Amino acid sequence: MKFFNREKEMEYILHILNREPDDIYFIYGPINSGKTALINEIINNGLNKDKYVVFYFDLREIFISKYDDFIEVLFEEYEYGKKPTEVIKSLIKDIPSLYGIPIPKNTLEEILKKKTTKNVFRYITSVLIDIKKEGKQPIIIIDELQKIGDMKINGFLIYELFNYFVSLTKHKHLCHVLCLSSDSLFIERVYNEAMLYGRCKYILVDDFDKETALKFMDFLSKEILNKKLPNNEKELIYSYVGGKPKDIKYVIEESTFKDLREVLDFMLNDEISKLDMFLEVLDYLKPKIEIGNKVIEIKKEDVIKALKLFKESYEVNKKEIPVPVYIYLVKRNILFLNPQKRILKPQSFLVWNAIKKLLNGH
C-alpha cells in the first residue's frame, strides 16, 4: 500500500535532517499511530541517497535481556582482511540505510570481552567520522528505545547512551539521532530527565484527526475496495475507531467480505471483553506500582473512578488521576500520556468506546 499523509511530520523531520545535528529527537505517539511507517517512508523515499547514511535499529525485533544482546544489535560484523574504512566506503556507496555498524569480527569480540561502553562508543564515533569524510551525513535511528530502559552495566545503560547521543549531536554535531517509542511513560521519564534539558526535542505522531481520517478512508477504499465509501459509512467507521490508521485499515479490509456494522461491532465487543476481564481480575491480582521507595497497591475502585473521567471526555488532565493509577493504566496500554501537554487519553477510540459502554452503569 502507498504511504498516506504525514506530510507535516515528514517535512519537519526532513528539515531537521537538513540542518547541522544539534539535538536528540524523540518521536513518540500512541500504539499503531504510524511512527515506524513514517520513518521508513523518510528513509526509503524522503532522503537524498547521495547525502545520507542511515543506521536503523529496530529493538522490537530482538530479544534483549543483557548488555551483549544490545551491543550485538548495534554492529554488523565482517571477517578479517579489510580495513574498516574500506568496508565503510564499499557499503555506503550504494546503500542509503544499514542495519548495523560495520565492525571486524575480532574487534567486536574484544569489545564484548571488556564489558565497557567506552570502547563501543569510541569505535562507533570513528565510523561516523569516516562517513563524514566520504561527504555523507550519518543518521542513527533507534526504534522502541525503551526496551533497554532498565538494563544496567556500571549504572543504567540508557544514561550512558543518552550522554553519548548528546556528545554526537550537541557537542560534536556529527550525527543526527532519532529515537522512537510508543511507551509514553518512558517519554515522560525522558522529558523530566535533567541531563537532557536543552539537548533534546519531541515530535508527536498522533492518530489522525477526523478530517484526515475520513480522507484516509477515501484513500483506502479506492486502493482496496475500488470504490468510494458513502459519507454515512465513513462517519460510522470514525465513530467506532477514530483516527487510528491500523484500525481503519483493518475495517476497510474486513469489509471486502463482511458487513461493515458486523466488523465494527466485533472490534468493539472484543475491546469491551478485554477491558471487562482487566477490571474483573484486579481484585485477585492486587497489582502494585513502585514509585521511588514506595510500593503502592492499585485498587479496583480507584481504577474505575479514573476511567469514569473518560465517559464524557476523550482527554483528561493527568493531575485528575492519582499518579500510581495512571502509571498502571498507561503500562497496561489502556491510556496514553502526552507529557508535553500533561494530558491522558485512551490508547484508541476503540478503548474509549469500550470504557463508555462498560462503565455506563457505574
Q: Give me the helices (H) in the chain, please.
A: 7-17, 35-41, 67-74, 84-92, 105-114, 117-133, 157-166, 184-191, 210-220, 231-241, 245-254, 260-280, 282-285, 300-308, 323-331, 349-358
7-204 belongs to which CATH class?
alpha beta
What pLDDT is attached to residue 151?
64
User: Which residue shows C-alpha cell 502494585?
Assistant: 288
How many Å apart are CA 317 and CA 76, to the nearest integer? 45
**Same fold for the domain at 7-204 and the one at 277-358?**
no
| 18's grid cell | 537538513
Q: What are the beta bridge partners of residue 204?
A: 28
What pLDDT is attached to residue 81?
57
What pLDDT is attached to residue 82?
60
How many Å apart are CA 138 and CA 96, to the nearest integer? 10
Based on C-alpha coordinates, what's the Rg of the chain? 23
DSSP conformation class of 298: P
Those residues with Cβ within 8 angstroms of residue 314's Cβ, 6 or more apart along the chain or in another chain: 345, 346, 352
Contact 263, 255 (CB under 8 A): yes
What pLDDT is attached to residue 105?
78
Contact 289, 185 (CB under 8 A): no
Residue ranges of domains in the chain: 7-204, 210-257, 277-358
Local mean pLDDT, 10-residue blocks, the chain (362 residues): 82 96 96 92 89 89 77 76 64 63 80 78 90 91 85 69 93 96 91 88 95 95 90 97 96 93 97 96 90 90 96 95 96 95 96 94 60
What pLDDT is attached to residue 195?
83
What pLDDT is attached to residue 41?
92
pTM of the model: 0.90
Those residues with Cβ within 8 angstroms of residue 260's Cβ, 6 or more apart along the chain or in another chain: 233, 236, 237, 251
The fold of the 277-358 domain, in CATH, is Arc Repressor Mutant, subunit A (1.10.10)
Q: Which long-range contacts (CB under 8 A, 24 or more apart) does 288-292 make?
A: 289/324, 289/327, 289/328, 289/331, 291/323, 291/324, 291/327
What pLDDT is attached to residue 5?
82
Those residues with Cβ within 8 angstroms of residue 142's Cβ, 6 or more apart along the chain or in another chain: 57, 59, 177, 178, 179, 180
